Amino acid sequence: MEKTSIILDVDTGVDDAFAVLFAAMHPAINLLGVTCVDGNTNVDQVIANTLKVLDAAGAGDIPVARGAVRPLLGKSEYAEYVHGADGMGDLGITPSHRKVDSRSAIELLRDLIEESKEPVTLVPIAPLTNIALFLRAFPETAKKLHRIVLMGGSASAGNATAAAEFNVWHDPEAAAIVFQSGVPITMYGLDVFMRPGATSENAAKLLKSSDPAPQFAATLIQAFIERLHVSPITLGDYGAVACVIHPELFTTEVFDVVVDTSQGPARGQTICDRRAPFLKSIEPNDLTDSAAVRVVLDLDVEAVEQLWFKTIDKGWL
Ligand code: RIB
Ligand code: CA
């Protein structure tokens, strides 16, 4: 089976865990490494959570590196109300024996991209601080990136604010640098983020397996449901990884997109120019500093969900 080489940038968080499990376990993915960033919780907790998820996935020696401890300009705003104080549902998970890589996140990104014989897809599912720093520190290496498929932004409403999605809102300046980088970008945003989900019944089915990954996934699902008092809960960030290896399950459209870095109520909004072409020609008020971005607008929810369950639990029927 042909493999797609990817690097994940995470702020593990419960739904980042769903994505890391999938990326580490799916046979068509070569997970080159994982970089960690301040986001859902502090970066050192993100590292601890990520190492633990790789244990549950039975992953090999995948390098995990420490990145930015806060946004480029602003202060950290953690999502404890969603992911718990430890970012993983406050389950009291025992620490992993794995060690964090000695390189910084941007050095690991540079080395993995330079060393890869295959095109590399970068999959940020967190605030884009590491990616912005990498683009500024190693622009020649960045030119070798095949593409960026990111979880972030929205062509509709926000979640962190009325206008902005959390990953972009957490560091709008970093997001603006990434969107303007010239690297081909697919934006897996809030227009689809909430739709692939898991229920308590799914968790109960996963628990029937004696393998660590489905057991771990079931625990996270149940913790997420109990914390948010909602079912199904979203598989969230995982969808961006699925979009990399199964693009046929997703509907996309290219729009000019710009990140609002003002200090106003729209700060962190990914403004997508969805005007009809004739209108754009009449009113050529183009978005300044915009970039053409492939935006995910729809997906085959059932197929995307089943892809995750069948990957996490080899006995899933
Ligand atoms: O807005 C959703 C994003 O914010 C996801 O990446 C989730 O993990 C949180 O970081
Ligand atoms: Ca995330």
CA–centroid distance for 169 within its chain = 14
Does residue 111 carry a catalytic annotation? Answer: no
Residue 15 alpha carbon to ligand 2 centre in Å: 6
Length of the chain: 317
C-alpha of residue 289 to centroid of ligand 2, in Å? 26
| For the CA of 151, the nearest atom of ligand 1 | 6
Domain edges within the chain: 4-312
Other CB atoms within a 10 A radius of the CB of residue 274 amount to: 13
| pTM for the whole structure | 0.97
Sign of torsion, CA 292 16 105 159? positive
Measured by CA distance, the residue closest to atom 1 of ligand 1 is: 166
- At 181 the three-state DSSP class reads coil
Give the HSE-up count for residue 7: Cα atoms under 13 Å, Cβ half-sphere. Answer: 32
Residue whose tokens read 């961006």: 240
pLDDT string in tens for the chain (317-residue length): 789 999 999 999 999 999 999 999 999 999 999 999 999 999 999 999 999 999 999 999 999 999 999 999 988 888 777 778 888 888 887 899 999 999 999 999 999 999 999 999 999 999 999 999 999 999 999 999 999 999 999 999 999 999 999 999 999 999 999 999 999 999 999 999 999 999 999 999 999 999 999 999 999 999 999 988 999 999 999 999 999 999 999 999 999 999 999 999 999 999 999 998 888 877 767 788 889 999 999 999 999 999 999 999 999 98
Q: Can you read off the two tokens belonging to residue 83?
A: 């992911």
CB atoms closer than 10 angstroms to residue 15 = 25
Q: How many CB atoms lie within 10 A of CB 247?
A: 14
Q: Name the CATH architecture for the domain at 4-312.
A: Alpha-Beta Complex (3.90)
- Nearest to 20, CA basis, from 92, 118, 123: 123
Lining ligand 1 with CB less than 6 A are: 11, 13, 15-16, 39-40, 79, 125-126, 151, 159, 165-167, 236-237
Residues 122 and 131: their CA atoms lie apart, in Å, by 9
Residue whose token pair is 């502090």: 42
* Kind plus residue range of the DSSP H or E element containing 227: helix 212-228
Bridge partners of residue 147, in order along the sequence: 121
Q: Residue 5 burial by CB count (10 A; 0-12/13-18/19+): exposed, middle or buried? A: middle
